[in-house]
Amino acid sequence: MNNTLKVIGGSAHPTLVNEICKNLGVPPCSVTLDTFPDGETFVQINENIRGRDVFIVQPTCPPTNQNLMELLIMVDAVRRASADRITAVLPFFGYARQDRKDRPRVPITAKLVANLMVAAGINRVLTMDLHAGQIQGFFDIPVDHLYAAPVLVKAIKERVGDDLVVVSPDVGGIKMTHAFAKAFKAPMAIVAKNRVSAEEVQALNVIGEVEGRNVLLVDDLTETAGTLTAAAGLLQKHGAKNIYAAVSHGVLGDKGRERLANSPIIELFATNSVPQAHGAKVTTLDIAPLLSDAITRIHSSESVTSLFDIRD
């Protein structure tokens, strides 16, 4: 095996790919990505990668199906070019919300996508803040699961301070909220919600004391910002002072940005795991150093556990 690592980027997030390579001190591997007139994806690796340790960086964010298919085709090209090991670096794993059968006759698409990735030839996955941690078990290959909390907590402490109540916008996010509350040495609260549709959320009640306090809403991802803005509106009615929010993945569309702009949320902290994490009130934090460190450790067969630590 040639011990040199190679980083190949798809078209989903070229800015993040370049930042990762800059941190690693290696140039991105030359690759041709094109689309035929009928919509089919074409990939050609323009460098020798025989025997190399290859890392393919491609968040499966919108357009999700296009980015996922491009990833699978890149993997096949790399495998047929005789790479020694293929690690898929997925800062954001699409389809993660379809992780169980919550109604009759529906697929478990997260498991299907995991199967597709393994079948394509991926040997290892590096990802961050899966919507449900048990998705790691959907893969029959090693998965390194990073957390954005160290990056988010550091930035929030610098900008907001420690005087916070950390709030989960729904009961499903209690574990993540507890981790942030522990980092800030702050109390917790929960907003009970009812999902009306894929884009509409009704906040019902607040469990915990928020009156006269600064509030930090935390969630793994936001897309239409329905959950966050509904929770913020209810918290404001319950007397919360300044309302902030933090998410690992800001998969924001136009509707989400508009809702945020018109909401009581002062600032939304999000990582650059996806290119959609921008807009009014959005502060984007760089995770390229975190991913670069993880790539270096995986390449050198070192532990990535220390990357989970939240340092002051």
> Domain check: are 11 and 125 in the same one?
yes
> Domain check: are 123 and 210 in the same one?
no
| Residue in 6, 175, 193, 281 annotated catalytic | 193
**Stated pTM of the model:** 0.92
Neighbours of 260 (CB within 10 A): 23
Q: Residue 225 maps to which CATH number?
A: 3.40.50.2020
What six digits make up the tokens of 229?
A: 């803005």
Neighbours of 60 (CB within 10 A): 27
Number of H helices, E strands in the chain: 8, 14
Q: Which residue range forms the structural domain that includes residue 92?
A: 5-147+288-308
> Domain check: are 173 and 101 in the same one?
no
pLDDT in tens, 34-76: 999 999 999 999 999 999 999 999 999 999 999 999 999 999 9
265 Cβ contact list (under 8 Å, min separation 6): 217, 228, 229, 232, 243, 244, 245, 281
The mean pLDDT value for 4-29 works out to: 97
**pLDDT for residue 127:** 97
**pLDDT for residue 53:** 98
**pLDDT for residue 305:** 84
pLDDT in tens, 181-231: 999 999 999 988 666 555 566 567 888 999 999 999 999 999 999 989 999
> Domain check: are 95 and 186 in the same one?
no
Split into its structural domains, the chain has a count of: 2
pLDDT in tens, 265-302: 999 999 999 999 999 999 999 999 999 999 999 999 99
> Domain check: are 129 and 44 in the same one?
yes
> Domain check: are 246 and 164 in the same one?
yes
> Domain check: are 167 and 242 in the same one?
yes
**pLDDT for residue 1:** 46
**pLDDT for residue 310:** 63
**Helices within 160-253 (DSSP H only):** 174-184, 226-237
> Domain check: are 279 and 196 in the same one?
yes
**pLDDT for residue 17:** 98
> Domain check: are 165 and 107 in the same one?
no
263 Cβ contact list (under 8 Å, min separation 6): 225, 228, 229, 232, 233
Higher per-residue pLDDT: 57 or 169: 57
Beta pairing partners, 202: 194
Question: Is 185 designated active site?
Answer: no
Nearest to 125 by CA among 289, 290, 270, 294: 294
> Domain check: are 139 and 175 in the same one?
no
At 309, the pLDDT band (50, 70, 90 cuts) reads: low
> Domain check: are 112 and 189 in the same one?
no
> Domain check: are 277 and 207 in the same one?
yes
pLDDT in tens, 84-102: 999 999 999 999 999 999 8
**pLDDT for residue 171:** 77
Residue 311 pLDDT > 80: no
Higher per-residue pLDDT: 244 or 170: 244
What six digits make up the tokens of 228?
A: 């966050």
Residue 247 pLDDT > 80: yes
